[in-house]
Structure 1
Amino acid sequence: SYVDELTKLRYTTDAGFTDAGSNHNVSIRHTNPEYTKRYPQAENVRSFPGAVRSCYTLRPIVSGSKYLLRASFMYGNYDGLNMIPVFDLYLGVNFWMTVNFSKDDPDLAFYSEVITVLPEDSVQVCLVDTGLGTPFISWLELRPLKNTLYPQANVTQALALSRRWNFGGDRMIRYPEDPYDRPWFPWNDPGSLQISTEQKVERDESTREIFHAPSVVMQTAITTPNVSTDIEFGYNVRTDHVYPKP
């Protein structure tokens, strides 16, 4: 176990949550020192060779409560094969997503989040072999949320993260500035103007308990130089909820 230098949150070994798989250090050649200094969890992986379905069982949790789950992956050529696998991730019996790196680069890191209401006092996160390489994971996080947040997430439907931007910001925001440890990444457009305030920004009453965006995120924004200029940004549209997969 250790305490993260930036967030001051404690991370612990996964040994008590799964009895499958084996641990491996990533290749020194494929280690980004700046990234692993910030995320020491990325220095090793747990892989699950020879098994179709391998699961973590997370407990204790409060049944009927809302949680954020985040799974992170950095291949780092830990097996010396230099072939990034493709595999499926499940939340219990429900399909979460296919873990498929957009580029064939062993140094790349990838993570996915879901927000859901968990009906039992434990939950399983499972990696499923689809015949395209051995599933692996770098680290797994569970964050409790207020039940008033993200009302679209419930027992039958979970929300999957697409992007979370901090417009006009110059750094990533995490815990403790965000009490739920949601990473907010800075986004700026070369043609836009940054605006900011030092004053605390109070959230609108109608959205305060739905999104709970931190004040530090709301203190920065972007605008256009004139009304005839557009701000454009793109994102990938994909299924926004966890659902049963045939």
Structure 2
Amino acid sequence: MQARAQPDSNGFISIDCGLPGTTAYVDNTTTLAYAPDAAFTDAGENRNISAEYITPGLARRYHNVRSFPDCARNCYTLRSLTAGNKYLLRAAFMYGNYDGLDRPPFFDLHVGVNFWTTVIVSSSDTAPWQSEAIVVVPDNFVQVCLINTDYGTPFISGLSLRPLKISLYPQVNATQGLVLLTRRNFGEAGDIVVRYPHDPYDRIWLPWFDATMWGRLSTTQDVRIDDTFEAPSKVMPDGHHAS
């Protein structure tokens, strides 16, 4: 499968940052194709995380990173978008002591010239650190940039873009975006992570930490889904899931 720097048939862009070569692969969990990042950036270098952090459950895209030891600002450019449309951006980071220093950095992440978040990872983390933003893109491309703030070398494990219906998340417009705090699954499959294909926008719905803290309700009536967010039926409370 040859990697191309453009969206797939869903409009998705899924990048395995630091993956060498030009060949994409299909993720076993989501069946989405992940492409190497060479077509999206011309800076940085490919590195592998330490073998001790590679566990059976760790997705392939976290086995490697792209690090940026040079320049204060390094960017990925995602193209073939539709100007004025709404998109979800997801960046993922798994330090895994890739540099052998056991000293994870922290640095800033921007969408274009706008601040997105400060990336703070731990050397002891065995799970990826992720951040999401929902934005309206003004052009037919968008840049995601890693900003060196003099606290170590910026790096990234994965970068994804997902198109959204313009009616979703009405708080987001040309001058204001949203950054995800958390997104939880309270449905009958509440002990699993729900994402694509159950959510056509590939939003990630995490299990609630302790479901015993909540009362369990059920109904024979239809559960109305708020079209403002279009939560997938799999994460809704028990009952008849209706659109």
TM-score (norm 2): 0.82
Aligned-partner Cα distance in 2 for 1:106–1:191: 26
Match of residue 194 from structure 1:
216
Q: 1:200 to 1:114 in 2, by over 3 A?
A: farther
Q: Which runs of 5+ in 2 are unaligned?
A: 1-23
Ranges in structure 1 where 5+ consecutive residues have no aligned partner: 222-246
What's the counterpart of residue 55 of structure 1?
A: 75
Look up the match of 1:78: 98
Q: Secondary structure at the match of 1:193?
A: coil
Q: For residues 189 and 219 of structure 1, do their structure 2 counterparts lie closer, same or farther at Cα, with a shift above 3 Å needed?
A: closer
1:118 matched residue in structure 2: 137
Deviation of the 1:32 alpha carbon:
2.6
| Aligned pairs for 1:84-233 within 5 A | 84-101=104-121, 103-168=122-187, 169-187=190-208, 188-195=210-217, 202-204=223-225, 207-208=226-227, 210-220=228-238
- RMSD of the alignment, in Å? 1.9
Distance 1:52-1:170 versus aligned 2 partners, 3 A rule: same
Contact kept, 8 Å, 1:203 with 1:212, in 2: the verdict is no
What TM-score, normalized to structure 1?
Answer: 0.81
The 1:220–1:120 alpha-carbon spacing in structure 2 relative to 1, beyond 3 Å, is same
Provide closer, same or farther for how the CA distance between residues 47 and 98 of structure 1 changes in structure 2, counting only shifts above 3 A. same
Give the counterpart letter for 1:211 in structure 2.
Answer: F
Distance of 2:124 and 2:222 partners within structure 1 = 40
**For 1:29, what is the secondary structure of its paired residue?**
helix
Deviations 1:73-101 (A, max 9, x none): 00001110010100000000000011012
1:30 to 50, 53, 57: 53
Answer yes or no: is the 8 Å Cα contact 1:201–1:219 preserved in 2. no
Which one-letter code corresponds to 1:107 in the other structure? Answer: T
Give 1:186 deviation, angstroms: 1.3
Alignment deviations for residues 155-213 of structure 1 (CA, whole Å, 9 cap, x no partner): 1111000000112512110101000000111113334333457x895534xx31x1000
Given that residues 150 and 211 in structure 1 are in contact (C-alpha distance below 8 angstroms), is that contact kept between their aligned partners in structure 2?
yes
Measure the CA separation in 2 of the matches of 1:184 and 1:123: 25
- CA apart distance, 1:24: 0.6
One-letter amino acid of the structure 1 residue matched with residue 145 of structure 2: C
CA distance, structure 2, for counterparts of residue 143 and residue 165 of structure 1: 19
CA deviation map 1:124-179 (0-9, x unaligned) = 00001000000000010000000000000111111000000112512110101000
Find the aligned partners of 1:163 and 1:81 in 2 and give their Cα distance: 31
Which deviates the most, 58-67 or 161-170? 161-170
CA contact (8 A) 1:21 1:46 kept: yes
